[in-house]
């Protein structure tokens, strides 16, 4: 798929050309000149005047013992889509990807997917049971888990149904809704391997049953080999304890695999010799093909990317001139090796600049800086991971998988940017 | 300072010995057996019973569009010390380091240090002025800043006065209070170099004046060489926009240097040819020596470390047995190369296990796992950075600097652990 359309261009924009182009910025006005109309605001608070907030004492320390964002950022929230599900208890809310940057998702904005609502677990009564094909069945308290060696790792968690509504065509007009069932945080937890070895595995142990303490008793089968490889029983995210929405006080982290397997409010691990064929791996979270058969145990989230800004909820409102395209890429098979971006619907591609940590099975941030001439754009991004896997087009996916599934859609996303700067979710062929 | 007391021990604990020792865990009870008394809780919610929260639907999605921690974590907050300052507007609140792990500080828990309260800046009226020895004075709106190439970098920000109350002896009984004027987040921002080059530097440009838009108009002089090296004008922390407490909508990031220079609510940068000798670099943020002279322009925060758990607010409540010591280390001169830990007040040292990212001028997490026999401990940690600098003892520091300063105390901290598990801030000689 990597064809000759890729320009022989170095990633990013050279410092020299950037600065020359930067002078075209509408808003960087000489002192005394006019500033951009888009941020007109209140001239009384702008140079040469001293703003109001410089004249009065503000709130003191610890007025907010646990802080929250500025009141001017009240639009940066998780959102659900009312018609998408029958109840809020078995539903989804989406991460506002278009309002974020970098690779860390703030805990308060991590997407939610619950099957029986948020279990409000009392940490004093929290217990994790490990039993089945083990030498010694064990029950751990939360304090017990904290006494085992712990590690810190950042991983993306993506719902298998992320972008699922787009199988039959462009539908949801916002990056938050098409791609917002993903978050990326730094976990602290115990390698699952250590807990299993503590219990002692019988020779015929091959699979784990993971069960949550929520009202849905969310249950999935996990191959033992994956559990022993890189899975965690995590109790912290981004430094603090897990949030209730994310499995407080402990959940499983299954790096690179569909987030439904990352069982929250983890209550029980049973060790067995075959998968349990549970509801969530037979009726749900399988991919129904055109011939009526279903792909099953499709755990790995393949390489994917999306431009988060501009996007329908984040239009290019400043008009023509120098601008930054920002996006994210990830792969369940390892590190992101490269991201290509096209401005013209695939005729010409350039390599994006990857910035910040490029980690195994973690979100990677990419940028493309360019001087927009104000004409219409068809933006796409295409992720390539370290195994050489290339993110496919939606049509390529449909050819193989049909359009019956709502899972595992990692097709290339197209945003149409109008000369007005408005952005729309479209498909081009 | 690295003497022969260091054991020839490999970092961490080998997997084999850990698991053998793990069996001594009091709480990992065989099924049907008793669990640890410390987490007695309500038996009705514990195995073999199904807990209450598994029987009822919990809250649905987007009930909290911007999430917050579990109600059971309400003790994880920033705290101030009432007698420390005359007002809350010019004061400090401390990061609860003893309740955190990993290297990311959640935005809501980042320590605060304000000189005129929290400026509540309207982003529409936000302007950054760059003037002085430049070819073309400029005014940037927030949208303008977002149109420049951006980078993502994690750095620690430590107040010069962190541990300042400890110069004359052990005083504040909690890691939050002795060391909590530090946080570590991932910033997104524009390299300051790009903005300065946009304005064009005159040949005699040597220093910058940084001015905040708060009621204190916080003002510091910054050497141009540092600005061109690695400083940022940041507008995001951990993915989302800066919090008001941390300079919303834009602040300076001065990697490795005292946080007072990281001017928040950044309003003005003047380019000059010498430092301005402002209040905060003459009367304050200088180190008064025994001979009456003061060390000035002492920007770099030298290598430092502290054990965050156990510590006075996080006692070893589980009694004897396998446990984990967790701590943080950082250096304003580069990466952390090694952290040594002693359990016996310096007679024997072992190398800690560094876990997670070890980045330039960023917090590094370290662990020591050991089997506590229940006898008293004198815990210390000692950071060594990649330049070979070794964190000194408090007495070594006092010999050179006296005890008049409240700044730049990076001495080794001692925690006394009683057989009861209670922990106290002490000094030993």
The residue among A346, A322, A318, A311 whose CA lies nearest residue A423 is: A311
Instruction: Give yes or no for B283 touching A (CB within 8 A).
Output: no
Residue A366 contacts B where some CB pair is shorter than 8 Å: no
**Cα–Cα distances in Å, from A184 out to A101, A110, A221, A340?**
11, 8, 23, 21
Q: Are B185 and B111 in contact (CB under 8 A)?
A: no
- Is there a contact between A138 and B213 if contact means CB atoms under 8 Å apart? no
| Residue B31, pLDDT above cutoff 80 | no
> What residues of chain A lie within 8 A of the CB of B159, using their CB?
none
Does the CB of B84 have a partner CB in chain A at under 8 Å? no
- CB contact residues (below 8 A), chain A span 325-344, against chain B: 326
So where are chain B's domains? 97-295, 304-426
Query: Cβ distance A7 to A348 under 8 Å?
Result: yes
Which are the contacts of B74, defined by CB distance < 8 A and separation ≥ 6? none
| Interchain contact B58–A (C-beta under 8 A) | yes
**Residues B61, A92: C-beta atoms closer than 8 Å:** yes
Using a CB-CB distance cutoff of 8 angstroms, which residues of chain B are in contact with residue A16?
A: none
Q: State the smallest CA–CA distance between residue B44 and chain A in angstroms.
A: 9
CATH number of A107-295: 3.90.420.10
φ, ψ dihedrals at B252, nearest 5°: -90, 140
Residue A121's closest CA among A267, A327, A313, A2? A267
CA distance, residue B253 to nearest chain A CA (Å): 16
Contact across the interface for A69 and B69, Cβ inside 8 Å = no
**Residue A67 confidence (pLDDT):** 97
Q: Which residues of chain A have pLDDT under 70?
A: 1-39
Enumerate helices (H) and strands (E) in chain A, giving the number of each.
6, 24
Q: Flag whether residue A83 sits within 8 Å of chain B, measured between CB atoms.
A: no
Let me know: does A417 contact A373? Beta carbons within 8 Å: no
Going by pLDDT thresholds of 50, 70 and 90, the confidence category of residue B23 is very low
What long-range pairs does B71-76 form, CB within 8 A, spacing at least 24? B71/A120, B72/A122, B72/A123, B72/A248, B72/A249, B73/A240, B73/A241, B73/B99, B75/B99, B76/A66, B76/A240, B76/A241, B76/B100, B76/B109
- Give the pLDDT band of residue B429 (cuts 50, 70, 90): confident
| pLDDT 10s digits, A220-230 | 999 999 999 99
Q: Chain A: give the shortest CA distance to residue B131, in Å.
A: 8
Residue contact A150–B367, C-beta within 8 A = yes
| Interchain pair A62, B18: CB under 8 A | no
Nearest CA in chain A to B40: A124
Distance, in Å, from the CA atom of A397 to the CA atom of A410, rounded to the nearest integer, reads 8
3-state SS class at A259: helix
Chain A residues close to B59, C-beta within 8 Å: 89, 117-118, 120
Radius of gyration, alpha carbons of chain B: 24
Please tell me if the domain spanning B97-295 has the same topology as the one spanning B304-426: no
Look at residue B99 in the predicted model and tell me its pLDDT.
98
Buried b / exposed e over A60-99, threshold 16 CB at 10 Å, is bbbbbbbbbbbebbeebbbbbbeeeeeebbbbbbbbbbbb
Chain centroid to Cα A394, Å, comes to 19
> Which pTM was predicted?
0.93
Q: Is B119 on the interface with A (CB under 8 A)?
A: yes
Say what the pLDDT of residue A36 is.
Answer: 43
pLDDT value, residue A429? 74
A59 contacts B122? CB cut-off 8 A: no
Interface size A-B, in CB pairs within 8 Å, comes to 457
User: For residue B117, which of A53, A58, A51, A70 has the smallest C-alpha distance?
Assistant: A58
Inform me whether the C-beta atom of residue A84 falls under 8 Å from chain B C-beta atoms. Answer: no
What is the spatial order of strands in the sheet that B377-385 belongs to? B350-351, B336-342, B377-385, B414-417, B423-426
Residue ranges with strand state E in A192-291: 207-212, 219-223, 232-237, 240-241, 251-253, 266-272, 287-288
Structural fold of domain B304-426: Immunoglobulin-like (2.60.40)
Which among A58, A123, A217 has the least Cβ separation from residue B119? A58
Give the count of alpha carbons within 13 A of A14, CB side only. Answer: 5
pLDDT at B87: 92
Name chain A contacts of B79, Cβ cutoff 8 Å. 62, 65
Residue of A nearest to B48 (CA): A129
Neighbours of A21 (CB within 10 A): 15
Query: Chain B within 8 Å of A239 (Cβ-Cβ)?
Result: yes
8 Å CB contact between B70 and A241: yes
**Chain A residue numbers touching B57 (CB-CB < 8 A):** 89, 116-117, 215
Radius of gyration over every alpha carbon of chain A, rounded to an integer in angstroms: 24
pLDDT at residue B121 in the model:
98
CATH class (in words) of the domain with range B97-295 = alpha beta
From CA B411, how far away is CA B401, in angstroms rounded?
12
Closest-CA distance of chain B to residue A73, Å? 8
pLDDT recorded at residue A122: 98
A80 reaches B (C-beta below 8 A): yes
d(CA B251, CA B117): 15
The residues near A61 (Cβ < 8 Å, ≥ 6 apart) are B78, B80, B88, B91, B92, B93, B112, B113, B114
Q: Do B55 and A215 touch (CB under 8 A)?
A: yes
Mutate to test the interface with A, among B57, B61, B75, B155 (most CBs of A within 10 A): B61
The C-alpha of B29 sits at a distance from chain A's nearest C-alpha, in angstroms, of: 5
Q: How far is B210 from chain A (nearest CA, A)?
A: 15
Provide the ipTM. Answer: 0.92
Reported as a single tens digit per residue, the pLDDT across B122-137 is 999 999 999 999 999 9
Convert the pLDDT of each residue in B227-255 to its tens digit: 999 999 999 999 999 999 999 999 999 99
| Termini Cα distance of chain B | 15
pLDDT tier for residue B40 given thresholds of 50, 70 and 90: confident
Dihedral sign from CA coordinates of B158, B159, B164, B170:
negative
Distance CA B273, CA B276 (A): 9
Q: Do B144 and A54 touch (CB under 8 A)?
A: no
**Overall average pLDDT of the B260-279 stretch:** 97
What local confidence, expressed as pLDDT, does residue A39 receive?
A: 52
Distance of CA A93 to the CA centre of its chain: 12
Nearest-Cα distance to chain A for B395, in Å, is: 32
Judge whether A352 and A340 are in contact, CB under 8 Å. yes
Q: According to the model, what pLDDT value does residue A380 have?
A: 98
Closest CA to A315 of A427, A176, A417: A417
């Amino acid at each position: 798929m990597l064809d000759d359309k890729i320009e022989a261009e170095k990633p990013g924009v050279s410092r020299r050309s950037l600065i020359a182009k930067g002078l075209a910025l509408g808003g960087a006005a000489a002192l005394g000149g006019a500033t951009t109309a888009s941020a007109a605001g209140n001239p009384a608070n702008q140079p040469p005047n001293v703003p109001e907030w410089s004249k009065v004492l503000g709130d003191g320390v610890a007025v907010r013992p646990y802080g929250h964002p500025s009141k001017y950022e009240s639009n940066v929230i998780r959102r659900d889509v009312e018609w998408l599900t029958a109840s809020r208890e078995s539903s989804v809310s989406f991460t506002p990807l278009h309002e974020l940057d970098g690779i860390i998702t703030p805990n308060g904005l991590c997407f939610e997917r619950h099957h029986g609502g948020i279990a409000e677990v009392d940490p004093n009564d929290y217990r994790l049971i490990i039993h089945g094909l083990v030498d010694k069945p064990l029950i751990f308290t939360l304090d017990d888990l904290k006494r085992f060696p712990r590690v810190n790792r950042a991983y993306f968690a993506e719902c298998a149904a992320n972008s699922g509504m787009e199988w039959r065509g462009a539908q949801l007009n916002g990056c938050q809704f098409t791609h917002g069932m993903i978050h990326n945080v730094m976990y602290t937890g115990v390698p699952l391997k250590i807990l299993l070895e503590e219990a002692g595995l019988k020779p015929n142990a091959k699979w784990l049953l993971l069960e949550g303490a929520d009202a849905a008793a969310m249950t999935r089968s996990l191959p033992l080999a994956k559990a022993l490889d890189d899975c965690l029983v995590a109790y912290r995210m981004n430094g603090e304890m897990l949030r209730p929405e994310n499995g407080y006080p402990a959940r499983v982290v299954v790096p690179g695999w569909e987030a439904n397997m990352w069982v929250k409010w983890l209550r029980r691990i049973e060790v067995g010799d075959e998968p349990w064929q549970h509801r969530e791996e037979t009726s749900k979270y399988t991919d129904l093909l055109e011939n009526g058969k279903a792909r099953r145990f499709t755990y790995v989230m393949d390489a994917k990317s999306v431009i988060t800004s501009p996007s329908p909820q984040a239009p290019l409102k400043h008009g023509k001139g120098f601008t930054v395209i920002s996006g994210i890429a990830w792969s369940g098979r390892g590190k992101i090796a490269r991201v290509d971006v096209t401005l013209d619907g695939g005729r010409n591609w350039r390599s994006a600049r990857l910035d910040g940590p490029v980690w195994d099975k973690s979100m990677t941030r990419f940028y493309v800086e360019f001087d927009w001439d104000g004409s219409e754009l068809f933006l796409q991004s295409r992720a390539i991971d370290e195994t050489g896997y290339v993110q496919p087009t939606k049509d390529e996916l449909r050819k193989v998988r049909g359009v019956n599934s709502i899972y595992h859609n990692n097709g290339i996303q197209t945003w149409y940017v109008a000369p007005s700067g408005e952005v729309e979710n479209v498909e081009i062929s």
